[in-house]
A and B are shown apart, each in its own frame.
Chain A
Amino acid sequence: MKKVGVVRFLGTNCDRDIWQACEAKGYSPEWLWYEDGFDVSSYEAVIIPGGFSYGDYLRCGAMAAKSPVMKSVVEFAGAGKPVLGICNGFQILCEVGLLPGALVKNTSGMFVDKWTELKTENPCQFWGKSVANSRLPIAHGEGRYHIEPEQLEKIKSSGQVWLTYKDNPNGSVADIAGVLNENKNVAGLMPHPERAMFDWMGGDDGFSFF
Chain B
Amino acid sequence: MSLEENLKKYRISEKEYGLICDQLSREPKGIEWALYSALWSEHCSYKSSKYHLKKLFSKSERVLQSFGENAGVIDLGQGERVAFKMESHNHPSFIEPYEGAATGVGGILRDIFTMGARPVALANYLCFGEPDAERMPTLVKGVVSGISGYGNCVGVPNISGQTEFHSSYNGNILVNAFALGLFRPGEKVFTSQAEGEGNLVVYVGAKTGRDGVHGASMASESFDDDNEAKKPNVQIGDPFFEKLLIESCIEVMEKGLVVAIQDMGAAGLTSSSFEMSSNGGVGFDISLDKVPLRDSRMTPEEILLSESQERMLLICEPKNLQAIKDVFSRWNLDATSIGTVTKEKRIRLSWNNEELCNIDPDNLVDNAPMYGPEDRPFNEWFPTHRVGSRDKLLTDVNNFELMLIKCLTDVRGCNRNWIFDQYDQRVGAQTISDCSNDVGVIRLPDSERALSVVLGCRPYVMRLDSAEGGKDSIAYPSVELASLGFEPLAVTDCLNFGNPEKKELMTEFVASVQGMSKQCEALKAPIISGNVSLYNETIEKNVTSTPSTGVVGLRDSVYGPSNKVKNENEVVLMLSMEQLKMSGQFAEISKQPMKACGEINANATASFIKDLRTFVLDNKVSTSKVVGKFGLAYTLARMCMNGVGMTIDTTNSSELLASTTEKYFAESLYQVVVCLPEGDYKKMNTENYSNLEIVKLGTTGGSKLKIDSNINMDVAKIIESYNSWGEHFETLA
The answer to whether A and B come from one shared complex is yes
Q: Is the interface of A mostly helix, strand, loop or mixed?
A: mixed
- The answer to whether B445 and A52 touch across the interface, beta carbons within 8 angstroms, is no
- Given the known inter-chain contacts A14-B155, A51-B155, A200-B443, please indicate yes or no for A111 contacting B431, CB distance below 8 A: no
Assembly CA distance A10 to B243 (angstroms) = 8
Q: Is residue B351 within 8 Å, beta carbon to beta carbon, of the partner chain? A: no
State how many angstroms separate the Cβ of B26 from the closest Cβ of chain A: 49
Q: Is residue A133 within 8 Å, beta carbon to beta carbon, of the partner chain? A: no
State how many angstroms separate the Cβ of B281 from the closest Cβ of chain A: 38
State which of B153, B423, B429 has its C-beta within 8 Å of the C-beta of A56. B153
State how many angstroms separate the Cβ of B350 from the closest Cβ of chain A: 35
- The answer to whether B432 and A200 touch across the interface, beta carbons within 8 angstroms, is yes
Assembly CA distance A16 to B119 (angstroms) = 13
- The answer to whether A11 and B153 touch across the interface, beta carbons within 8 angstroms, is yes
Interface residues in B, total, Cβ within 8 A: 32
Chain B residue contacts of A141, Cβ below 8 A: 152
Interface string of B404-447 (1 = CB under 8 A from A): 00000000000000001111111111011010000000010100
Q: Is residue A112 within 8 Å, beta carbon to beta carbon, of the partner chain? A: yes
Residue of A nearest to B732 (CB): A110
- The answer to whether A112 and B153 touch across the interface, beta carbons within 8 angstroms, is no
- The answer to whether A194 and B243 touch across the interface, beta carbons within 8 angstroms, is no
Interface string of B94-129 (1 = CB under 8 A from A): 000000000000000000000000000000000000
- Given the known inter-chain contacts A10-B244, A20-B445, A55-B240, please indicate yes or no for A139 contacting B429, CB distance below 8 A: no
Q: Is residue B559 within 8 Å, beta carbon to beta carbon, of the partner chain? A: yes
State how many angstroms separate the Cβ of A190 from the closest Cβ of chain B: 13
State how many angstroms separate the Cβ of B509 from the closest Cβ of chain A: 37
Chain B residue contacts of A13, Cβ below 8 A: 153-155, 243, 427
- The answer to whether A112 and B421 touch across the interface, beta carbons within 8 angstroms, is yes
Q: Is residue A21 within 8 Å, beta carbon to beta carbon, of the partner chain? A: yes
- The answer to whether A17 and B428 touch across the interface, beta carbons within 8 angstroms, is yes
Chain A residue contacts of B149, Cβ below 8 A: 111
- The answer to whether A52 and B426 touch across the interface, beta carbons within 8 angstroms, is no
Chain A residue contacts of B434, Cβ below 8 A: 202
Q: Is residue A197 within 8 Å, beta carbon to beta carbon, of the partner chain? A: yes
Q: Which of A118-175 contact B (CB under 8 A)?
A: 137, 139, 141
Chain A residue contacts of B443, Cβ below 8 A: 200
- Given the known inter-chain contacts A54-B240, A55-B238, A113-B422, please indicate yes or no for A201 contacting B429, CB distance below 8 A: yes
- The answer to whether B239 and A113 touch across the interface, beta carbons within 8 angstroms, is no
Interface string of A46-77 (1 = CB under 8 A from B): 00001110111100000000000000000000
Residue of B nearest to A169 (CB): B421
Assembly CA distance A141 to B239 (angstroms) = 15
Q: Is residue A192 within 8 Å, beta carbon to beta carbon, of the partner chain? A: yes
Task: Known A-B contacts: A50-B427, A110-B422, A137-B426. Give 20 more (CB < 8 A).
Answer: A10-B332, A17-B427, A17-B428, A51-B155, A52-B152, A52-B155, A55-B240, A111-B145, A111-B149, A111-B422, A113-B423, A113-B424, A139-B426, A141-B152, A194-B429, A195-B426, A201-B429, A201-B432, A202-B431, A202-B434
A-B contact pairs, 11 of them (CB 8 A): A10-B332, A13-B153, A16-B428, A16-B429, A51-B155, A111-B149, A139-B426, A194-B429, A197-B429, A200-B443, A201-B432
- Seen from chain B, the residues whose Cβ lies within 8 Å of a Cβ on chain A are 145, 148-149, 152-155, 238-241, 243-244, 331-332, 420-429, 431-432, 434, 443, 445, 558-559
